[in-house]
Structure 1
């Protein structure tokens, strides 16, 4: 059991949740949850019947009333415990963050290269610090040098370390996380008071959870159900008396408690609170649970191309031979010209070469390195009297012509074909001969097409906005599987697109990082800003991704849908339970006066009293049994709405009918043994 698990589920947090659940018995607090408030009033009534039986007529079963009162009390405590546990996990998280903030120190790198130790709270945006193996990262920042394995469990709860390095998508780091191996130099991106630790502590301690529209609607529905069942139960009493059946008040209370939606009423808050916790594990700061739940209803996602759908760097994707030159020669020359090219482009050429069947391996070449210059527009290596070059097509063509070489007849045709696809052709030459082309393009991130297909399976439309020309935009959109794209987009175009989608009645999610994205982020129903972005973007959004990975909007949407589905399946399970409870309580209520009702006792319960107590106990214990499901959420897969509905109805609807039969019968047998 790791330390993070103990912090969130260990004895201290469980004990604290138990104390909080006792304090939540205060009627003023329970009034926020009408179902539990009515349940507490029912428990109070049964308590009065137990203490003052003479005031409620003759024939009161004091012992039975006392047991019913205790069961009702535990039902409320279990429901309060679920909410207290969800809240306690957040508070435990805040406590660990406060501790981390107090302990953070920094090894600042000064302008002359020397170091000085100081408290992390003294660091300002732009300062550079060195963090070595075993050290805590003193604040939010970007890695500018080095590579290291980082443990982010104190923030996300995930124990697996993440390898991060400079000049990659994984260069953003969070204050309070630990460097497990190696070292990194980090440039601070936040001033004191604006770091993730400060914002998360403020979010947990200083704000109240807002209820999302769906939660408000469901709460209203639960109140309506409660009122309906209250009217039904109150009506049963005079009707039964009219036909000569005398029902105890405690029996009617048992019927009422078992019929009202106590399960979902007790778990509703816990499900909502857990949404923020799950988003935090992805290193995303959600400003409210409302924003998380809103993500579950998103219809359209607007994505930027550069850095979101693609890497944002042109990388080698294909070797194109010209004039029948052998592919082996093209790959060899491309490798030689890229060995001393430390750019992303150069590294991508080497990686592409390794994937070729004709690749013979890397060798050491000792020669004169020719660096790239804006004037020459090419680079290469002079080795053993041979001149290897790589660069722009016209630059290489001029170079070869000057050395007495000929231009391949198909060079222009093939380079134009690459350009029409939105790519960049690089010519490769050996001495006076052009041996082929390297096709450079802004490469789609691995797995992006699959992730976008997952969004489509959820019924979500994807829209890409880019400043590129229409040809390049169309190529990227086709390869990535984007539903629609807008080329040559300006900031005002993004805002217009958001508003147009909303005018169609759709909920829109958007990612962004610049000041020019702020209006659209503020307009979007779910706006996720990058931690590396401007303050204007982060203030306009209702979520901030601390790793600056725009594709995480997909995880946020999945969590939002998981939250909605979890609430739906618990509601389905709770309502389905009522069907089974009918067969326990109704025969018990009327079998004494109307023996024919005994035919409904299909569970074969031992006695009317045992039947009612078994149903009531089951109604209480099902709440703590469902707490792990409420906090973790239902396993969500991006499938069609009809398939999802059918699956959940079969599992939680049918299961909600069958499981109480088993549970109530088991409790009945246990009660009779006792």
Structure 2
């Protein structure tokens, strides 16, 4: 499969705004542009405006970090204050004195540039935050150190070594942050990489190799065994077991044959296919998913705004603390100490971990979700999911398969009825008569006969009459299959079992041979086997499960009884579904609506969390906040679990990041100076970067979450 992952080159034709500039292969500035004030004023993650707006890449920060690290060694080693601290002597040459100031100045302007420009950006947008604090700290240290080197200020302010360390450590923190963000973007890149590099298009009698970008709708392409489909299409010849896990998250392969739709990026595992292209470029499911993932990662959430607010407060907190520090130490007659402490306060107050805390958690969560077949379109939906206490399921296609299935066969007068037809014979004759019909009920009957491996006789002279039924000649006799109108026309009576079946809301078809009723078929929308687990697990989470359907009450009650559903809204017209959601919300409940998207759109939009299920290729459902690629209702539990885990990580990170600052700033200001403890600037700088690393690592733990529907459901049901 590695040939499918070779390059993304062709994908730039689909998405011209993505430039893969080779910095670790990640187009990272697209992920980050939304951090800049210019593009999204309200998405200030603690001030990445400077570097994000300049399209800086992981590679550039990595290089800058290593260069500054090399420069920092002589800056620190030849610094007299550092030598005194450690206790070694420096050569007594004049040039030694100037190593630190000269290289330190290079570090300030070159290594500090991203922070200086970022700080200016924050002043311009009147939104002080992290960058401004870093810029302030290194500028104050830079000026104080020159003052000391030129003997204008106390030698105690010979801060070159600390300036060097600060720049290096801040660049390291930034590089880590960029890398994490880049890994998140790689979810998008891996979607691009699913497409093959070339496609084999059939041109008349020849096969031409072209790039997928050159395909047009209507082209027929060959997909060889083990290769991936180059564009969305319909199979015109052949059948294969398709690995669709990249789109649906389902690990099992799915059999697809002539007439079935296939999605770009899915893999034909066992045999070749001919596929007619139905969508290309931005219209494909993959491009739709890619766009959804990008949108989700750019949406700003309440918790993010919380982090932004915290960064703003910390700026003023630091500034206030710095002013108080300067005033108090100066009034004690220690102006040099005042400068040292003030600078230390400004350095330590950089809320770096804070700017990283939330964006990182959310971006990792959305990527982790996408890999598990859960596409988070709106981050707020992901956040509100953890407090949902009522889940409303649309019945058809969500809890049930959405297609009729034969659930019962009854022979007239029992097995030895008129003509002695057995149940299997009744089904075989019905299947023979229905063989040429395209009607869903006909397909259900022929499928049932296939599943029972029945020998279906050949039929001729097929005819069908709407609302009545079908008839065909089988052998020497005429076989008819139909509903109540057919019985009326033939003046025949229905079988006694029909009443019971009708009470259960089933569809009833009678089978007649030469005008004589030989049996009846019971058809119903089959309940998905996973639905029961999904309902049980939701009960375990403490949510009420409600079903909404346009079907008759009898049908709805049968399904509800079987699944243990709490409440049923039956006979609801599509346009009234949203009102039912509002009714539940009126009872003070937080409602998640799960539907298949099309006629459920208003209800999905009305719900606190709209979840479109089994959307497959139709991923662009505008009204849902979360889209489940698989049709498994248990995936709803995956969303629950992801929501809870994400919120946990966000709060842990916020407390860690802000708590660190609240403790260290007073220590740096000299609160404990009376008892002889003052936090050295270097220790402060190291601790601050350590807190950034802790936050980053804590967020990475989300990657371990297993979001397979059965795993999530199993955990809630206590089976794991």
What TM-score bracket applies, with the shorter chain setting the length? Answer: 0.5 to 0.7
2:127 matches 1:38: no
Please tell me whether the aligned partners of residues 79 and 266 of structure 1 are also in contact (alpha carbons under 8 angstroms). no
Give a deviation string over 1:215-269, Cα, whole Å, max 9, x none.
1133213422443354345435555677799956445555665566532322332
Which of 19, 29, 49 aligns to 2:60? It is: 19
Q: Is 1:218 paired with 2:307?
A: yes
2:362 to 261, 267, 272: 272
- Note the alpha carbon deviations across 1:48-95, whole angstroms, 9 max, x for none: 333333799535253xx4444344334433443344224434655666
How far apart are 1:571 and its partner, in Å? 1.9
- State the Cα deviation string for residues 575-602 of structure 1 (Å, max 9, x = none): 56569x66x994995777526x7xxxxx
Distance verdict in 2 for CA 1:591–1:436, change over 3 Å: same
| SS of residue matched to 1:422 | coil
Query: Shift of residue 12 of structure 1?
Result: 5.1
How far off its partner does 1:311 sit? 0.3
Q: Which residue of 1 aligns with 2:692?
A: 623
Query: Hey, what's the Cα distance between the residues in 2 that align with 1:244 and 1:392?
Result: 103
Q: Deviations over 1:102-134 (max 9, x none)?
A: 944354699xx9988776456565666553314
Q: Deviations over 1:519-552 (max 9, x none)?
A: 44555565566767889x7455566666677875
| Distance of aligned partners of 1:243 and 1:564 in 2 relative to their CA distance in 1, 3 Å threshold | same
Are the structure 2 counterparts of residues 523 and 72 from structure 1 closer, same or farther at C-alpha, using a change threshold of 3 Å? farther
Against the structure 1 CA distance between its residues 612 and 190, is the aligned structure 2 distance closer, same or farther, given a 3 Å change threshold?
Answer: same
Alignment of 1:12-411 (within 5 A): 13=26, 16-20=57-61, 24-25=114-115, 27-28=117-118, 31=122, 34-53=129-148, 57-58=153-154, 60=156, 62=158, 65-89=159-183, 92=186, 103-105=197-199, 107=201, 120-121=212-213, 129-141=221-233, 147-150=239-242, 162-166=253-257, 173-186=262-275, 188-190=277-279, 192-199=281-288, 209-228=298-317, 230-232=319-321, 234-236=323-325, 238-239=327-328, 247=337, 249-251=339-341, 253-254=343-344, 261-282=351-372, 301-317=391-407, 343-345=443-445, 347=447
Q: Mean Cα displacement is larger for which, 373-382 or 342-351? A: 373-382
CA distance in 1, matches of 2:284, 2:266: 13
Partner in structure 1 of residue 675 of structure 2: 594
Query: Which secondary structure state, in structure 1, belongs to the residue aligned with residue 404 of structure 2?
Result: strand
1:618-646 per-position Cα deviation (integer Å, ceiling 9, x unaligned): 431342354354256276699xxxxxxxx
Residues 339 and 98 of structure 1, relative CA distance in 2, 3 Å threshold: closer
The answer to which of 487-496 and 77-86 deviates more is 77-86
Measured after TM superposition, the shift of residue 493 of structure 1 is: 0.7
Q: What is aligned with 1:671?
A: none
TM-aligned CA distance change 1:53 to 1:455, over 3 Å: farther
Given that residues 293 and 377 in structure 2 are in contact (C-alpha distance below 8 angstroms), is that contact kept between their aligned partners in structure 1? no
Query: What secondary structure, in the 3-state scheme, does the structure 2 residue paired with 1:60 have?
Result: helix
The alignment partner of 2:269 has SS state of: strand
**1:549–1:227 Cα change, 3 Å:** same
Does the CA-based 8 Å contact 1:452-1:462 persist in structure 2?
yes
Q: Which moved more, 1:250-259 or 1:465-474?
A: 250-259
Preserved CA contact (<8 Å) 1:34 1:223: yes
TM-score (structure 1 length as normaliser): 0.66
Aligned residue in 2 for 1:652: none
Over 3 Å counting, the alpha-carbon distance change for 1:67 and 1:320 in structure 2 is farther
Residues 16 and 219 (structure 1), Cα distance of their counterparts in 2 relative to 1, 3 Å cut = closer
Asked if structure 2 preserves the Cα contact closer than 8 Å seen for 1:274 and 1:632, the reply is no
Could you say if the C-alpha distance between residues 545 and 159 of structure 1 is closer, same or farther in structure 2, counting changes exceeding 3 Å? closer
User: Aligned to 2:270, what secondary structure does the other structure show?
Assistant: strand
Secondary structure at 1:25 match in 2: helix
CA-CA distance at 1:476 after TM superposition: 1.9
8 Å CA contact 1:521–1:527 kept in 2: the answer is yes
Among residues 554, 559, 569, which one is paired with 2:652 in the alignment?
Answer: 569
In structure 1, the residue matched to 2:549 is 466
CA gap 1:101/1:626 in 2 versus in 1, 3 angstroms: same
Q: Distance in 2 between matches of 1:85 and 1:116?
A: 40
Q: Aligned equivalents of 2:607 and 2:388: distance in 1? A: 10
Inter-CA distance 257–330: structure 2 relative to 1 (3 Å threshold): farther
Offset, 1:492: 1.6
Q: How far, CA to CA, are the matches of 1:632 and 1:478 in structure 2?
A: 40
Change (3 A) 1:109 1:474: farther
Q: What is the aligned counterpart of 2:528 among 437, 445, 454?
A: 445
Residue by residue over 1:119-155, the C-alpha shift from the partner in whole angstroms, topping out at 9 and shown as x without a partner, is 64565656665533143313224557654344568x6
CA contact (8 A) 1:43 1:73 kept: yes
Q: Does the 8 Å contact 1:35/1:265 carry over to 2?
A: yes
Q: Distance in 2 between matches of 1:334 and 1:68?
A: 90
Equivalent residues of 1:149, 1:161 under 8 A apart: no
Instruction: Give, in angstroms, the shift of residue 468 of structure 1.
Output: 0.6
Matched residue of 1:211: which SS? Answer: coil
What do the CA deviations read for 1:368-394 (whole angstroms, capped 9, x no partner)?
A: 6799976796999999x9x9x997798
Task: Supply the distance in 2 between the matched residues of 1:151 and 1:208 (Cα, whole angstroms).
Answer: 27
Distance 1:149 1:287, change over 3 A: same
Query: How far apart are the structure 1 equivalents of 2:251 and 2:139?
Result: 49
Matches within 5 A, 1:524-603: 527=610, 538-539=621-622, 555-556=638-639, 558-575=641-658, 586=667, 593-594=674-675
- CA distance 1:233–1:25, change in 2 (3 Å): closer
* CA distance 1:147–1:481, change in 2 (3 Å): farther
Q: TM-score, normalised by structure 2?
A: 0.63
Aligned residue number for residue 496 of structure 1: 579
Q: Which residue of 2 aligns with 1:418?
A: 501
Give, in angstroms, the shift of residue 469 of structure 1: 0.5
CA 1:177–1:314 in structure 2 vs 1: closer, same or farther (change >3 Å)? closer
* Aligned mates of 2:574, 2:491 — CA distance in 1: 45
Q: Residue by residue, what CA displacement relative to the aligned partner does 1:476-521 show, whole Å, maximum 9, x if unpaired? A: 234334444332222321233345556668465554443x545445
* CA deviation after TM superposition for structure 1 residue 11, in Å: 5.5
